[in-house]
Amino acid sequence: MLEKNYQIEIFNPSISVKKFDILTTFKPQYGNYDVFLEAKRNRLKTVTHVIHELPNNYLQYLVSKYTSKIPFFISNFRRKIIENSDALIALSDSEKSFLVKKYNVDEAKIFVVPNAINTNLFIKEKTTIFLEKYNINEPYILSVGRIEQNKNQLSIAEAIKDLGIKLILIGEKIDKEYVKEIEQYDFVQIIEDITYSSEELISAYKNSSLFILASFKEISPNTVIEAALCNIPLICTSNTFTIKQYFKDEIEYINPNSIGDIKSKVKKVLSNEEVNKSIKEIALNNFSEEKVIERHLKIYNSL
């Protein structure tokens, strides 16, 4: 039973922090430090959504850990916010462990809460609106996300070029040169004009033979959760903080650096006609807006 109701207001510099009881900041970064410091001076409780990126390698981890202890470095402001927050919100247990290791903070003040998804959007009945609008009349693999090197769409195209199946990429063309490389594959179709939560996007998910996210690095990819809600076969990069914690071995994971691994996992999933229905339930039970809001309120009530 939730004990309090909260009025939420987006802070701007013209408002005094004194009128608030709790300050919530998203990402412990330099731009948030002044308002965070003012909140602490006025004895507000502070909650910080950490959203910490994975280091590319151990050397990068050591360098960032060392520089975060040097006064006036950007990373030092991040450390100060993390150390002095009354509560920290991590997206997964692995991110929580990473924070304890890097910043030596008390794990008791770190709460694990994933990002929320509007689950009602993605459990609608299947339609053919996407197929009709874009004249799609053959099976396809789907990947959703900005078209850029980190998302690794080029490796997907290279991995499936001999499998005789279309690849549809939905997302903004960020890296134009990278896009040109992808467009050399004639079985790839890139679609930019589909917005989030649109009927076309939901239809694209539900009519695909397989969803794949092959990014080199992800924090908490919503697209994987959306695909799970649509109850379609899916493959996810192994380089993410959150997905493995919730979906465990219920989905396939790939090494994004291995085209061979991507190809073998795609072949494996496409050859299995049965969809793992548990992934939809996992997504509903962990990522719905109602459940995530409830977990946030419990944190605020505990302060």
Tell me the one-letter amino acid at 7: Q
- Least confident residue range of 192-196, 200-204, 229-233, 284-288: 192-196
For the segment 124-137, the average pLDDT, to the nearest whole number, is 95
Using alpha carbons only, give the angle 282, 215, 52 rounded to the nearest 5 degrees: 75
- Least confident residue range of 24-38, 82-96, 137-151, 163-177: 24-38
Considering the domain architecture, whether residues 61 and 163 belong to the same structural domain is answered as: no
Q: Is residue 8 in some structural domain?
A: no
Considering the domain architecture, whether residues 162 and 281 belong to the same structural domain is answered as: yes
pLDDT of residue 60: 58
pLDDT of residue 35: 86
pLDDT of residue 1: 36
Percentage of residues of the chain with pLDDT beyond 90: 63
Considering the domain architecture, whether residues 31 and 148 belong to the same structural domain is answered as: no
Claim: this prediction has a pTM higher than 0.75: yes
Q: Domain containing 40: what range?
A: 17-116+288-302
Considering the domain architecture, whether residues 126 and 50 belong to the same structural domain is answered as: no
Among 48, 43, 45, 57, CA closest to 25: 48
Burial class (CB in 10 A: 0-12, 13-18, 19+), 198: middle
Considering the domain architecture, whether residues 62 and 189 belong to the same structural domain is answered as: no
Percentage of residues of the chain with pLDDT beyond 70: 89
Predicted confidence (pLDDT) at residue 139 exceeds the cutoff of 70:
yes
Confidence of residue 174 (pLDDT cuts 50, 70, 90): very high
pLDDT of residue 57: 56
Domain count, the chain: 2
Predicted confidence (pLDDT) at residue 115 exceeds the cutoff of 60:
yes
Considering the domain architecture, whether residues 172 and 193 belong to the same structural domain is answered as: yes
Considering the domain architecture, whether residues 212 and 170 belong to the same structural domain is answered as: yes
Q: Is residue 6 in some structural domain?
A: no
Considering the domain architecture, whether residues 247 and 221 belong to the same structural domain is answered as: yes
Provide the CB-side half-sphere exposure for 249 (13 A, CA).
Answer: 0
Q: Is residue 12 in some structural domain?
A: no
Q: Is residue 253 in some structural domain?
A: yes
Dihedral of the alpha carbons of 200, 206, 207, 209, in degrees to the nearest 10: 140
Considering the domain architecture, whether residues 166 and 188 belong to the same structural domain is answered as: yes
CATH code for the domain of 52: 3.40.50.2000
Predicted confidence (pLDDT) at residue 65 exceeds the cutoff of 70:
no
Q: Is residue 272 in some structural domain?
A: yes
Considering the domain architecture, whether residues 175 and 256 belong to the same structural domain is answered as: yes
CA distance 67 to 64: 5
pLDDT in tens, 248-258: 989 999 999 99
Considering the domain architecture, whether residues 40 and 130 belong to the same structural domain is answered as: no
Considering the domain architecture, whether residues 213 and 244 belong to the same structural domain is answered as: yes
Predicted confidence (pLDDT) at residue 71 exceeds the cutoff of 70:
no
CB 99 within 8 A of CB 78: no
Secondary structure (DSSP) of the chain: ------------TTS-GGG-SEEEEES--HHHHHHHHHHHHTT-EEEEE--PPPPSSHHHHHHHHHHTTSTTSHHHHHHHHHHH-SEEEESSHHHHHHHHHHH---GGGEEE-PPPB-HHHHTSPP--HHHHHTT--S-EEEEES-BSGGGTHHHHHHHHTTTT-EEEEES-B--HHHHHHHTTSTTEEEE----TT-HHHHHHHHH-SEEEE--S-BSS-HHHHHHHHTT--EEEES-BSSHHHHHGGGSEEE-TT-HHHHHHHHHHHHH-----THHHHHHHHHHBHHHHHHHHHHHHHH-
pLDDT in tens, 225-283: 999 999 999 999 999 878 988 999 899 999 999 999 999 999 999 998 676 779 999 99
